[in-house]
Amino acid sequence: MSTATGPAPTYEVAPYKSLENEQLAERIEAARRELGSRLLILGHHYQQDEVIAHCDLRGDSLKLSQLAAENSQCRDILFCGVHFMAETADILANRPEKLIERNGERVQVVLPDMAAGCSMADMAAIEQVEDAWDDLGKIIDSDKIIPVTYINSAASLKAFCGKHGGIVCTSSNAAKVIEWAFERGERVFFFPDQHLGRNTALKMGITNDQMPVWDPFNDENGGTTVEAIEYSKVVLWKGHCSVHQMFKAEHVQLFREQHPGAMILVHPECPQEVNDLADVSGSTGKIIETVEAAPPGTKWAIGTELHLVNRLKQEHPAQEIHFLSPVVCMCATMYRIDLAHLCWSLENLLAGTIVNKIEVDEDVVQWSLVALRRMLEQV
């Protein structure tokens, strides 16, 4: 190991916590130089700036995984995101055709902090989804239900969709995916984010009374009625993003009063009442593209994760950019990945003592790929 990376790495992250950010940054860069082109550090848009500064690529979860998988030199991925993102990177980087190209050599995927999860993804456990599927099948023909899982979900849910004729969606292609599903069935079972499912379906002409919400903690028909399920077009899962759930209709109204001429730009994971009032609703990518394309002097109130909004404000000083909520909304689980965890996992990787390796079970990979390929190849 290069002396620039400091003392021998440890399986305990605690010693790294005592170091100053400047020390950690120097050691991270030293490890990056030594690992060279075999390493890719991926940073999600919601990640804090000091971590993003050391990332080779930044973007949303699917795009990062796709870019890493297409990199012919990469053998080690450090994903500065959350658990389901690292799972997707492992699935795509180590899919059969990629393993053949590398003569069977796997790309190692590391999540710097295993506590970096996703509250939304955690709201839908595979056992709960399987139970709900069985219960729905007692009321309606499950052969005519197409399961759709948001990319922000565990690999086991992606595999469930693969096994049951379903598909994965992102916030940018949810409408196309739901259209794909209706070409193959009479109903859609959408999880885990009810708001993305509802906001997307409403724009497609599906009404709220056709979208009952299934509560996995209610044993009586998921907290809805047999009649509502029989009348349904989309059955929504009772899940949400803890960040986007915080935005309220009164926040929009307040900004319109305080900042005349400001445009309201929100993510479709926000509740319906916020999306209905917004000037623009779109994925993280669309939010970024919208700001980038706007002329100087444009005023925005943006309803998405705080780190991304602050970064847009820094990168576009000619525009007036505000955070939509008066309450701080950041992705607390993403925030767990800091310089200490990044340095710790990097130096262990350099020493050959891999920590927090993400490797998805082979059967889950197989069926997850079925659902992901339906999205990537057919939509």
In a shared domain, residues 142 and 220: yes
**Could you say which of 188, 222, 241 is where a domain stops?**
241
Has residue 375 been placed in a domain? Answer: no
pLDDT, residue 158, reads: 97
Which domain CATH number covers 344?
A: 3.40.50.10800
For residue 6, pLDDT beyond 60: no
Has residue 329 been placed in a domain? Answer: no
Taking the C-alpha atoms of residue 153 and residue 166, their distance in angstroms, rounded to an integer, is 14
Q: What is the DSSP letter of 262?
A: P
Span 64-89, mean pLDDT? Answer: 90
Please, which residues have CB within 8 angstroms of residue 34's CB and are 6 or more apart in sequence? 1, 2, 5, 350
Has residue 367 been placed in a domain? Answer: no
| Residue that wins the pLDDT comparison between 5 and 42 | 42
In a shared domain, residues 112 and 31: yes
pLDDT, residue 5, reads: 45
Span 97-125, mean pLDDT? Answer: 92
Instruction: Give the helix/strand (H/E) hosting 288.
Output: helix 284-293
CA distances 54 to 33, 184, 343, Å, are 11, 44, 10
In a shared domain, residues 232 and 266: no
Look up the domain containing 296 and give its range. Answer: 244-323
For 133-168, letters b (16+ CB in 10 Å) and e give: eebbeebbebeebbbbbbbbbbbbbbbbbbebbbbb
For residue 59, pLDDT beyond 90: no
For residue 306, pLDDT beyond 70: yes
HSE of 23, CA atoms in CB hemisphere, 13 A: 10
Number of H helices, E strands in the chain: 18, 13
Has residue 34 been placed in a domain? Answer: yes
271, 247 in Cβ contact below 8 A? yes
47, 55 in Cβ contact below 8 A? yes
In a shared domain, residues 56 and 167: no
How does pLDDT run across 153-163, given as a tens digit for each residue? Answer: 999 999 999 99
Count CB neighbours of 76 within 10 A.
Answer: 17
Tokens of 218: 């209610």
Distance in Å from the first CA to the final CA of the chain: 46
CA distances 323 to 32, 127, 137, 300, Å, are 34, 37, 43, 8
In a shared domain, residues 192 and 85: no
pLDDT, residue 376, reads: 86
In a shared domain, residues 142 and 254: no
191, 156 in Cβ contact below 8 A? no
In a shared domain, residues 148 and 179: yes
Of 251, 275, 256, the closest CA to residue 203 belongs to 275
- Specify the number of domains making up the chain: 3
pLDDT, residue 345, reads: 96
Has residue 354 been placed in a domain? Answer: yes
Q: What is the DSSP track for 162-197?
A: HHTT-EEE-TTTHHHHHHHHHTT-SEEEEES-HHHH
- Work out the percent of the chain whose per-residue pLDDT is above 90: 79
pLDDT, residue 8, reads: 65
Instruction: Give the helix/strand (H/E) hosting 29.
Output: helix 21-35
Has residue 26 been placed in a domain? Answer: yes
